[in-house]
Amino acid sequence: KPVLGIESSCDETGVAVLRWEPDAPGRGLLAHALYSQVKLHANYGGVVPELASRDHVRKLLPLVREALTEAGLTPADLGGVAYTAGPGLVGALLVGASAARAMAWALGVPAIAVHHMEGHLLAPLLEDDPPKPPFVALLVSGGHSMLVEVKAIGQYHILGDTLDDAAGEAFDKTAKLMGLPYPGGPALAKLAEQGTSGAYRFSRPMTDRPGLDFSFSGLKTQVLLAWQKSDQSEQTRADIARGFEEAIVDTLVVKCRRALDAAGAERLVIAGGVGANRRLRAELAAAGERDGFRTYFPRLQFCTDNGAMIALAGAIRLAAGQQQDETVQVFPRWNLETLPPAA
Ligand code: ATP
Ligand code: MG
Ligand code: FE
């Protein structure tokens, strides 16, 4: 029976319905619906937690109805309800968790608490020819930048983490200080396409020494100084955006190569919002061709937050016999390494 997936950890309400197909999970995706709160938060230049929670309350049930209609199902057809239990904003998480827990209880089906970053990490499994463990995952989102060794689904070992800003956060903050509208990351990436490669060169943080950790906050300062000293023309802004994007992408490529060596892996999975970046996708695919590793990306709309990845992670855990007890509990901070194996 299909699983309903609910995502509400930040500023996207996502819902999906997925029937579990072990060999080709993407084929079981019956419907997905998303509502982004981007416009709501734009005036404030960032996500306002209380507004986010209230908007999830408004949008969640209509989206559930929409997804069920699209799948041609009624609630009684569901075999489980999966929801993001963390990490994320506590109020926003509680909206999804209480709705999911209540639905599951009313329907008499299991509720499954999903780790948001496991959702991101598994999103590439929704594509054709899904990756099989062992593999290395590069998780680059708004709140995380991690390299994870995946020995099996549910067995995660963090090889590298960010010491300060996450990659997506670096994109967003850098865009903001160059005056780009919120949300800055995708806007900066778009602008970079018009920039001249090499016109500005910024450092590749922490690539000159061994290790798999990241640090992106210094790049922001470099960009700010370059921008302040420049003529601030449109072309210059694009050139600086290009230089910044190249620095981030190069750094990520170097660290991915190292992580694959360290783990002795031949497959690289890329996930999270920054995984939607075209230059990152192209450069990692090219590095894979050169060095003999395979790359796996989610489709663009499943890089950023969505319900499909939560339905998938929930279906996998339900198939492994795991479910949540009858309490509403969320985990705003939650280490991926503490998850139980999913088999
Ligand atoms: P987390 O998953 O860590 O809790 P999040 O859910 O807010 O954070 P995602 O939805 O995975 O993060 O991704 C959003 C981030 O991705 C934003 O920081 C955004 O700037 C970035 N992003 C989206 N598209 C692009 C792009 N094309 N290039 C670079 N960054 C991008
Ligand atoms: Mg978001
Ligand atoms: Fe996310």
CB 326 within 8 A of CB 105: yes
pLDDT along the chain (343 residues), means of 10: 98 98 96 98 96 98 98 98 98 98 98 98 98 98 98 98 97 96 94 98 96 96 97 98 98 98 98 98 98 98 98 98 96 98 92
Could you give the C-alpha distances from 32 to 38, 64, 108, in angstroms and in order? 19, 9, 23
Tell me the backbone φ, ψ of residue 276, rounded to 5 degrees: -80, -10
What secondary structure does DSSP assign to 269-319, as a single string? EEESGGGG-HHHHHHHHHHHHHHT-EEE---GGGTSS-HHHHHHHHHHHHH
Instruction: State the Cα angle at 176 between 170 and 180, rounded to 5°.
Output: 120
Assess whether the previous peptide bond of 210 is cis (omega < 30° from 0).
no
d(CA 54, CA 91): 9
Annotated binding site: 116, 120, 139-143, 172, 185, 277, 305
**The pLDDT value given to residue 316:** 98
| Nearest CA-CA partner of 257 in 293, 213, 216 | 293
For atom 8 of ligand 1, the residue with the nearest CA is 142
pLDDT of residue 343: 83
**DSSP string over 179-200:** TPPSSHHHHHHHHHTTSPTTSS
Q: Which residues are annotated as a binding site for Fe cation?
A: 116, 120, 305
Question: In whole angstroms, how far apart are CA 103 and each of 64, 106, 208?
Answer: 11, 5, 52
List pocket residues of ligand 1, CB cut-off 6 Å: 9-10, 88, 116, 120, 141-144, 168-169, 171-172, 183, 185-186, 189, 272-274, 276-277, 304-305
Alpha-carbon torsion (234, 276, 208, 222), positive or negative: positive
CA of 77 to the centre of ligand 1 (A): 33
Alpha-carbon distance of 188 to 174, in angstroms, equals 8
Quote the pLDDT of residue 297. Answer: 98
Backbone angles phi, psi at 155, to 5 degrees: -110, 95
ipTM greater than 0.90: yes
Tokens describing residue 326:
């009858």
Candidates 10, 214, 274: which one to mutate for ligand 1, based on the most atoms within 8 Å of Cβ?
274
Q: Residue 173 and residue 53: Cα distance in Å, rounded?
A: 23
Backbone angles phi, psi at 13, to 5 degrees: -95, 120
